[in-house]
Amino acid sequence: MSARAPYYTEDHDRLRETVRRFVQREIAPNIDAWDEAGAFPRELYAKAGELGVLGLGFPEPLGGLPCDPFHRIVVTEELARVGSGGLVAGLMSHGIALPPIVALGDEALQHKVVPRVLRGEAVAALAISEPDGGSDVANLRTTATRDGDDYVLRGSKTFITSGMRADFITVAVRTGGPGMAGISLIVVEGDRPGLTRTPLSKMGWWCSDTATLYFDECRVPAANLVGKENQGFLGIMQNFNGERLAIASMAIAFSQTCLDEALAWARDRQTFGKPLISRQVIRHKLVDMAQRIECTRAWLEQLAWRVQQGQWPIADVCMLKNAATQCLEYCAKEAVQILGGAGYIRGAKSERIYRETKVLSIGGGAEEIMKELAAKQLGY
Amino acid sequence: MKILVTVKRIPDPVEPPKFAGGQIDTSSAKWVQNEFDEYAIETALRLAEVGGGTERLAEVVVVSVCPATKREHVTNFLAMGANRAIVVDADDTQLDAQSVAQLIAAVFRKEGADLLVSGKLSQDNESNEVSQRVAGLLDLPQATFAASVVWDRSANALQVAREVEDGVETKRVPLPAVLSVDLRIVLPTSVKNGATPEGHPYPDKPRLASLRGITMAKTKKVDVLKPADLGVSVGAKVVSRGVVAPPKRQAGKIVASVEELVEKLATEAKVL
């Protein structure tokens, strides 16, 4: 048995095995077709919900199952094996939509939204970015104005993962004055009059839907407000920490998928009468990939351990996100190169992953923003 | 109703076996559960549960003969939904089928079980002996290679369909009894207990352990017994004299003509 890092137990192995089998049964045979079709079936949410994948890390009274950060890493690694970031992003979009509701929302709102999403009966999305700005959260423009027992939303959001079919959308809105002190989060049900959505075509992540949302006098009950008015900014920022760690985890897992595919190809492919892997230049590429993956994974696991101890090392999380997405950009590029023509043809995991690298170095906080935030945190 | 389900740990069949000292070297093997035993636990769970609900018609107890510290396969079955487990602490690699059967029969007696469900064989040595030997030791009726089973609760009996060479044989087996199961037992409608609604959406495979099941498994009771506790003295009457890897396959030859092919088949391969 191969040695595992000290953070993992037999429990993590068992989780890995069950998620691996789930992926082999339910996802692997269909993923290429889903990606080409631009969607995976909604039933997959219910199947993942039944297995417990969606509930992982959420409180038990809401239908979840508490876990440590390494359980999350294991799930991400196993979902990533089929080489589709769109699948992970779409299936797990509640992973960024629900935590603010769990952290800040009142009990009635939690019970209305969370259990249904964790069972896979409803889809959840998070809407922060706007057509006028993504990273500049403090200056977002979508407004929610109190009117009796309702809030009335005006504005729009864009690049929203699962935005087209979400039943619950956690929306960042301006309820107060300018800047971060005027921001709240509010849950908008997908069928509210005044909400319209437009699908966006993307470079990658084809099987996850991405949308622009328009709120045109969209009326939402005040009970849908997540926590207190004008106190949403901190919730958004804390949520970003989890999202960035998840993105780092995804990037490393996809890097490994690229290496696995490139290695298998290099062993199998014959060039000029010899296996490709007998070429020193190819072996060195593989080692360069493995080296980056091992370094970044070790850092991820160390940060996950710190999170487990109750710390949130923000600067480290920012730098790790950049390191991991850079690792992925490198590994995807080299894997496609090693696969040659086959790496340029749809059906190769590396081909898909190559198209999906940029979304990870931009989404959840662009590389440049990560550096600035890290610099600020480090006092540079 | 109490159903006993056996599970054997085997070296991962996906990994090529290593040979050392005239035996298969399992010192670095990854141990996994025998897949046919997954069909057995699935059968037992489908008999025991009311699909779609929480009621249970039977207790499902997993039993395995293995070192007490090497029982991940048992925990896996608890995670799938078995109620509790019994581990007979012994070095399974040193036991023959008769010894294992004696231990399982003793557990069956001790538990006062009503039904033993086993996979028809284990993927490592494929000997297909244990369930038949247990039935013999306990002097119980048996149905082997079950492809479907219907539990007639009012008559306390099983109706078992077995796929045999010339068709399907249907047997009626009064409980207590011994059942060994084949691949088709996990098709969606293969197991009926008269309580699960018709059309309940069972998958066509053994279920996956849910994440909650994995968490719950650690809290379930596992009794560890020594063979002596069961009054069984174990040892192998069947002795393995040696195991060697089959000779490596030679590279093929491309022949130029049919005449050459026939000539080589006659003179080199000596099959004509």
**Domains of chain B, earliest start first:** 2-245 (3.40.50.620)
- How confident is the model over A237-281, as pLDDT tens digits? 888 888 899 999 999 999 999 999 999 999 999 999 999 999 999
Place of tokens 């589709």: A84
Put simply, the answer to whether A15 touches B214 (Cβ < 8 Å) is yes
- Under a CB-based contact definition with an 8 Å cutoff, are residues B6 and B133 in contact? no
Q: How far apart are CA A189 and CA A193, in angstroms?
A: 9
Put simply, the answer to whether A10 touches B210 (Cβ < 8 Å) is no
Half-sphere exposure of B134 (CA within 13 A, CB side): 30
- Under a CB-based contact definition with an 8 Å cutoff, are residues A74 and A19 in contact? yes
Identify all chain A residues contacting B212, using CB atoms and an 8 Å cutoff. Answer: 52, 65
Q: How far apart are CA A31 and CA A12, in angstroms?
A: 25
Amino acid (1-letter code) at residue B56 = R
The nearest alpha carbon in chain B to A21 belongs to B208
Handedness of CA A17, A21, A303, A11 (dihedral sign): negative
- Under a CB-based contact definition with an 8 Å cutoff, are residues B105 and B92 in contact? no
Handedness of CA B11, B15, B18, B23 (dihedral sign): positive
- Under a CB-based contact definition with an 8 Å cutoff, are residues B98 and B133 in contact? yes
Strands B84-89 and B59-66: parallel
Query: Choosing from A77, A78, A130, A243, which is the catalytic residue?
Result: A243
- Under a CB-based contact definition with an 8 Å cutoff, are residues B46 and B191 in contact? yes
Q: How far apart are CA A186 and CA A242, in angstroms?
A: 20
Give the distance from residue A65's alpha carbon to the nearest chain B alpha carbon, in angstroms: 7
Half-sphere exposure of A86 (CA within 13 A, CB side): 28
Between the alpha carbon of residue A280 and those of residues A260, A261, A287, the distances in Å are 18, 18, 10
Strands B157-164 and B142-152: antiparallel
**Domains of chain A, earliest start first:** 10-118 (1.10.540.10), 124-230 (2.40.110.10), 234-378 (1.20.140.10)
Put simply, the answer to whether A18 touches B212 (Cβ < 8 Å) is no
Q: How far apart are CA B150 and CA B159, in angstroms?
A: 5
Facing residue for B212 by CB, picked from A1, A21, A52:
A52
| A209 contact partners, CB below 8 Å, separation of at least 6 | A38, A39, A90, A161, A162, A163, A164, A165, A199
Spell out the SS3 assignment of B173-214. Answer: EECCEEEEECHHHHCCCCEECCCCCCCCCCCCCCCCCCHHHH
Interface test with B, best of A9, A17, A24, A119 (most B CBs within 10 A): A17
- Under a CB-based contact definition with an 8 Å cutoff, are residues B5 and B39 in contact? no
Q: Extract the residue ranges of chain B whose pLDDT is less than 50.
A: none
| B68 contact partners, CB below 8 Å, separation of at least 6 | B87, B89, B224
Give the distance from residue B27's alpha carbon to the nearest chain A alpha carbon, in angstroms: 10
Give the distance from residue B210's alpha carbon to the nearest chain A alpha carbon, in angstroms: 5
Helix (H) or strand (E) holding A319: helix A314-339
3-class secondary structure, A82: helix
| B222 contact partners, CB below 8 Å, separation of at least 6 | B71, B74, B78, B84, B85, B86, B87
Q: How far apart are CA B39 and CA B181, in angstroms?
A: 7
Between the alpha carbon of residue A7 and those of residues A3, A65, A71, A301, B245, the distances in Å are 11, 19, 10, 8, 38
Between the alpha carbon of residue B201 and those of residues A331, B44, B198, B237, the distances in Å are 42, 17, 9, 46
Between the alpha carbon of residue B122 and those of residues B32, B35, B108, B119, the distances in Å are 11, 8, 20, 7
Q: Residue B35: what pLDDT? A: 96
User: Considering only residues 191 to 220 of chain B, which have any Cβ-Cβ distance to chain A shorter than 8 Å?
Assistant: 203, 205, 208-215, 217-218
Put simply, the answer to whether A21 touches B75 (Cβ < 8 Å) is no
Q: How far apart are CA B116 and CA B181, in angstroms?
A: 11
Mean pLDDT of chain A: 94
Put simply, the answer to whether B75 touches A56 (Cβ < 8 Å) is no
Interface test with A, best of B214, B218, B220 (most A CBs within 10 A): B214
Identify all chain B residues contacting A10, using CB atoms and an 8 Å cutoff. Answer: 72, 75
Facing residue for B210 by CB, picked from A1, A17, A51:
A51
Range list of β-strands (E), A97-247:
124-127, 143-147, 150-161, 168-174, 183-189, 195-199, 210-221, 225-226
Give the distance from residue A126's alpha carbon to the nearest chain B alpha carbon, in angstroms: 25
**For residue A127, pLDDT beyond 60:** yes
| N- to C-terminal Cα separation, chain A | 45
Q: Residue B93: what pLDDT? A: 87
- Residues in chain A whose beta carbon is closer than 8 A to a beta carbon of chain B? 1, 10-11, 13-15, 17-18, 21-22, 25, 50-53, 55-56, 65
List own/partner pairs for B97-100 with CB under 8 A and 24 or more apart. B97/B127, B97/B129, B97/B130, B97/B133, B97/B238, B98/B129, B98/B133, B98/B237, B98/B238, B99/B232, B99/B234, B99/B235, B99/B236, B99/B237, B100/B65, B100/B130
Put simply, the answer to whether A52 touches B211 (Cβ < 8 Å) is yes
- Under a CB-based contact definition with an 8 Å cutoff, are residues A161 and A247 in contact? no
Give the distance from residue B75's alpha carbon to the nearest chain A alpha carbon, in angstroms: 9
User: What is the band of A3 on the pLDDT scale with cuts at 50, 70, 90?
Assistant: low
Active site residue A217: no
Give the distance from residue A12's alpha carbon to the nearest chain B alpha carbon, in angstroms: 10
Q: How far apart are CA A186 and CA A199, in angstroms?
A: 22
Rounded to the nearest angstrom, the gap between the alpha carbon of residue B265 and the centroid of all alpha carbons in its chain is 42
User: Considering only residues 68 to 107 of chain B, which have any Cβ-Cβ distance to chain A shorter than 8 Å?
Assistant: 72, 75-76, 79
Q: Residue A1: what pLDDT? A: 37
Range list of β-strands (E), chain B:
2-6, 9-11, 18-20, 23-25, 31-33, 59-66, 84-89, 115-119, 142-152, 157-164, 167-174, 177-181, 191-192, 222-225
The nearest alpha carbon in chain A to B27 belongs to A1
A238 or A192, which is more confident?
A192
Q: Residue B110: what pLDDT? A: 96
**For residue A172, pLDDT beyond 80:** yes
Place of tokens 């119980």: B140
